[in-house]
Amino acid sequence: MNSNLKQFVNGFASQGVREIKLKDLLNLRKPEQATREIRTTFPPVTIGSVTLVDQIVLLCLDELVAPSYILEIGTFQGFTTRLLARNSAAHLIYSVDLPPTDTKLIDTLDAVRILRDGSYNDDHLRDIQNRSGEVYLKDLTVDEMKRVRLIKADSTSLDFTAEFASIEFAFIDGGHGYDIVRSDTENVLRVMKHGVIVWHDFSSGIHSDVTRYLSDRAIENRIFHVQGSLCAFQLVGC
Ligand SMILES: C[S@@+](CC[C@H](N)C(=O)[O-])C[C@H]1O[C@@H](n2cnc3c(N)ncnc32)[C@H](O)[C@@H]1O
C-alpha cells in the first residue's frame, strides 16, 4: 500500500465520515503515474452503475493499494468488473451476483417509485441483472477474462472464508438494504487483513441505508467520502 495514502488517512481523527476531494486522492499518486492512460468507456446512463468520477476514485484507490485480489459484490452488467479487469494489475477479480432465476421481482415498473424506494430499486436491478447478464464482459479479451471469476451466490449466505483466501480491495455494491450492507462489510472484514473497502451509493438519494450504515460504522471507524462521487472508503489494517 502506498505510504502517502496511509499517512493521509492517519492525519484524520480515527472516527467519523470525512469529506475529501478527488484531488486529494489524485495528489497521493506517484508523479510518474500522472500521465498514465486508463481504458474505459463513457459511463452507462442506465440506472444502477457507476459514474465517471466513481471510476476515477476506484482506479486511484486500486493504484494506491495495489491489491492482488479484488472482490466486487454486485456484478450487475459487469461495467466495473470490466473497468478493473482492464486497468488493475490485480491477479484476480472476483465478482459476486445472485444466481439466475425464473422469478421476476417486479411485474410493471413504477417510474416514480424506482427513484424513491431503495428496496424497490434493488429488486429492479436484480431483475435487470437476471435478464441481461454481464453484457460488458463480452468486450474483454480471453486473457482479461482469465483474471475474472464470477461467483453466482447470494452474498449474505456465501461463506467468504471458504471462497476467498484474502482480499485487499473490496467494492461493496450488491443489495443496498442496511442488513445486507452490514453483512457484506462484516464478511469482507473476515477475509481482509489489510486493504481498502469501497462502498457505492454513499449519499445517494435512493439508497439511504448505505449512508445510514456508514454513519453508524463511523462511530468507531474512519470513513472517507469523495465529494462528487457515490464512493466512500475505509482503509483496513493500517
Ligand atoms: C447497483 S448493481 C451493481 C452495479 C455494478 N457494481 C456496477 O458497477 O456496474 C447491484 C447488483 O447487486 C446484485 N445483488 C443484490 N442483492 C444481492 C445479494 N444479496 N447477493 C449478491 N448480489 C446481489 C443485484 O443483482 C445487482 O446486479
Three-state SS annotation for the chain? CCHHHHHHHHCCCCCEEEEECHHHHHHHCCHHHCCCCCCCCCCCCCCCCCCHHHHHHHHHHHHHHCCCEEEEECCCCCHHHHHHHHHCCCCEEEEEECCCCCCCCCCCCCCCHHHCCHHHHHHHHHHHHHHHCCHHHHHCCHHHHHCEEEEECCCCCCCHHHHCCCCCEEEECCCCCHHHHHHHHHHHHHHCCCEEEEEECCCCCCCHHHHHHHHHHCCCCEEEEECCCCEEEEEECC
Instruction: Inform me whether the pLDDT recorded for 49 exceeds 90.
Output: no
Q: Does 107 or 189 have the greater pLDDT score? A: 189
Q: What is the average per-residue pLDDT within 71-76?
A: 98
The Å distance, Cα 123 to ligand 1 centre, comes to 10
| Ligand 1 atom, smallest distance to 122 CA | 15
Q: What is the mean pLDDT of residues 42-71?
A: 95
- Across all residues in the chain, what is the average pLDDT? 95
The number of the ligand 1 atom at minimal distance from the alpha carbon of 125 is 26
**pLDDT at res. 47:** 85
Is the pLDDT reported for residue 48 higher than 90? Answer: no
Domains of the chain: residue spans and CATH: 3-28+48-236 (3.40.50.150)
- pLDDT at 125 exceeding the cut of 90: yes
Q: Over the stretch 180-238, which tens digit does the pLDDT of each residue have?
A: 999 999 999 999 999 999 999 999 888 899 999 999 999 999 999 999 999 999 999 98
Alpha-carbon distances of 200 from 173, 210, 214, 219, rounded to whole Å: 5, 8, 11, 19
Q: Whose CA is nearest to atom 23 of ligand 1?
A: 174
Q: What pLDDT sits at residue 92?
A: 98
- What pLDDT score does 45 carry? 87
Residue 49 CA: nearest ligand 1 atom is 9
Instruction: Measure 90 CA to ligand 1 centroid, in angstroms.
Output: 21
